[in-house]
Amino acid sequence: MDKVKSYLQIHPKDNVLVALQDLPKGQIIDWNGQLITLQDDIHAKHKFFIDAMEVGDEVLMYGVLVGKAIIAIPKGGIMTTENVHHASQDYAYRKVNYEWKTPDVSSFNHRTFNGYLRADGRVGTANYWLFVPTVFCENRNLDVIKEALYNNLGYTVTDKYKHFTEQLLEAYQAGEDISAFEVDKLAPVEPLKKRVFKNVDGIKFLNHQGGCGGTRQDSALLSQLLAAYVDHPNVAGITILSLGCQHLQTQNLLDDLKVRNPSFNKPVLVFEQQKSQSEEQLIKEAILQTFTGLTEINKIERQPVPLSKLCVGVKCGGSDGFSGISANPAVGYTSDLLVALGAKVLLAEFPELCGAEQNLIDRSVDQPTAEKFIRLMQEYDAQAHAVGSGFHMNPSPGNIKDGLITDAIKSTGAAKKAGTSPVVDVLDYTEPATKAGLSLVCTPGNDVEATTGKAASGATLILFTTGLGTPTGNPVCPVIKVATNTALATRMSDIIDIDTGAIIRGEKSIEEMGTEILEYCIKAASGEEIPKAVQLNQDDFIPWKRGVSL
């Protein structure tokens, strides 16, 4: 967009327009010489019809089928869940000679980022020590260790809530009216303790609810996931806590680790509670040996490496009607720049590729790649239908309220994060990304399950677009939040890193914004910019059990 507009047609084939600002009922829209009288109040992000629709007529957005009318809809009428239901086109492999228009990356060709070079040639954007429980029984011990290490080594985020609670207590004990206490009146917060180990970016903890109970298949999949995190380029050392009698034995995890990376050589400390003298002895020994390990990985320093060493996941959550217009296309352009530079890009969330399948199939580099994607999509959707659900039930109430009426609308907009480059590989859950270029990763659409799986495939940064706002982060992979609109970026500035609202206002192009996002990625990968999710220790981790999760 080169000027401010109040509405937009995303693709020339579309028979709906998107409101870029609130439009009142009765307003007359001049669309290419055709006058459209709005039949409803159209809030920003929502869609209205260019022509009258009859029952069964196809609704087109992004140039593809995204729904069908279930009642007659007047010209200028708003699209809602009451008049349109989800629909998407059938898809199949067809040999297409896809030609990609590579973006100009000449200004980035000789750029580098300062990363942590690992022995196997991969590069981390952070240097973490990781605590891994093989079973949920050890979560409490992890919490005790976390409190001890965070407070003393300078990794606590803030004490402002502790101070606020202390103020409440003092007011209560003084007989003051607590109901009148103003939450924004905080006493000055004491400065955080300076980080002791300057080259250790964090100590991370993978608390989870698995490892025993459930099925043996659940434990086996969890083992593969934990092995992927232990092997992650952003992890430099690991402490494993085991109870001893659980399904997921430590040796199973170590065996999966060797299968994944036969040359693995990071320090791994193992503690089994049922072999320890006491809980206190276990915790103190784990802290002691981990502290020693921290002194060693603190000797690793960042060094310049080419941008081709980046592996960037692209994700969306809390999406809105602007997601497919501003943030997702901008991140898509960033993805294309990265691929052109020889880096890896990971697109996941298979339930949110519904309606975009044919485009991704046509972009696949060969038939086996396309057919693996088709198989995983069809198996996943069939599993959902078997329990009375389906990909069509993916949009949340918040998505719908902000203009994402069908899953195909949400999905075709979501797929824009992957840009236009060829699909070089398709990865099942926890499979590692090994090829430069764009790979598809099978995960749920659920924000945390998706970011958990994306990091397992090797993402060292995640670009996370949001229109409604979400605090999601990841323990080992810095998550960068990209807002679709300036109102969100302003209201939730404590969690948003980048604002793409300038695209909606016509002040910046998608290409300009995508280039700015890449510049931020380079700084974040170098430790020069710390994403808000990292600053707030938003370390969300939810393993997927391969059940139905949308």
pLDDT of 275 reads: 96
Tell me the whole-structure pTM to 2 decimals: 0.94
Give the pLDDT mean for 241-246. Answer: 97
Do 230 and 375 belong to one domain? no
408 with 497, same domain: the answer is yes
pLDDT at 189 over 70: no
Pick from 530, 531, 527, 535: which is nearest to 115 by CA? 527
Q: Name the average pLDDT for the chain.
A: 93
Is the pLDDT at 164 greater than 60? The verdict is: yes
Residue 184 maps to a domain? no
Q: Domain check: are 252 and 358 in the same one? A: no
Indicate if the pLDDT at residue 370 is higher than 60: yes
Query: Mean pLDDT over residues 137-156, rounded?
Result: 93
User: Is residue 36 in some structural domain?
Assistant: yes
Residue 462, pLDDT > 50, answer yes
Band the pLDDT of 388: cuts 50, 70, 90.
Answer: confident
The total number of structural domains in the chain stands at 3
Q: Is residue 185 pLDDT above 80, yes or no?
A: no
Domain boundary among 299, 333, 350: 299
Confidence tier at 464 by pLDDT (50, 70, 90): very high
Read off the pLDDT band of 549 (50, 70, 90): confident
**H-only helix segments in 317-366:** 327-340, 357-362
In a domain, 177, yes or no: no
pLDDT at 397: 87
- Contact 88/354 with Cβ under 8 angstroms? yes
Q: Read off the pLDDT of each residue in 95-118 and give the average, rounded to a whole number.
A: 96
pLDDT in tens, 398-452: 888 888 899 899 999 999 999 999 999 999 999 999 999 999 999 998 999 999 9
pLDDT value at residue 526: 98
pLDDT-above-90 percentage for the chain: 82
- Same structural domain for residues 259 and 387? no
CATH of the domain at 29: 2.30.130.110
Same domain (yes/no): 278, 350 = no
Residue at 39 is within a domain: yes
- Could you say which of 236, 266, 299 is where a domain stops? 299
507-537 pLDDT, tens digit per residue, is: 999 999 999 999 999 999 999 999 999 999 9
- For residues 347 and 451, state if they share a domain: yes
- 150 and 48 part of one domain: no
Burial class (CB in 10 A: 0-12, 13-18, 19+), 6: middle
Above 80 in pLDDT, residue 544? yes
From residue 179, give the alpha-carbon distance in Å to each of 26, 183, 184: 46, 10, 14
Cβ neighbours, 10 Å, residue 183:
7
Q: What is the pLDDT of residue 2?
A: 40
Whole-number pLDDT of residue 516: 98
Nearest to 228 by CA among 453, 421, 398: 453
| Same domain flag for 394 and 355 | yes
C-alpha span between 268 and 415 (Å, rounded): 38
Are 354 and 283 within one domain? Answer: no
Cα 186 to Cα 91: distance, rounded to the nearest angstrom: 57
Domain final residue pick, 242, 267, 299: 299
Is the pLDDT reported for residue 187 higher than 60? no
Instruction: Print the domain residue range for 27.
Output: 7-86
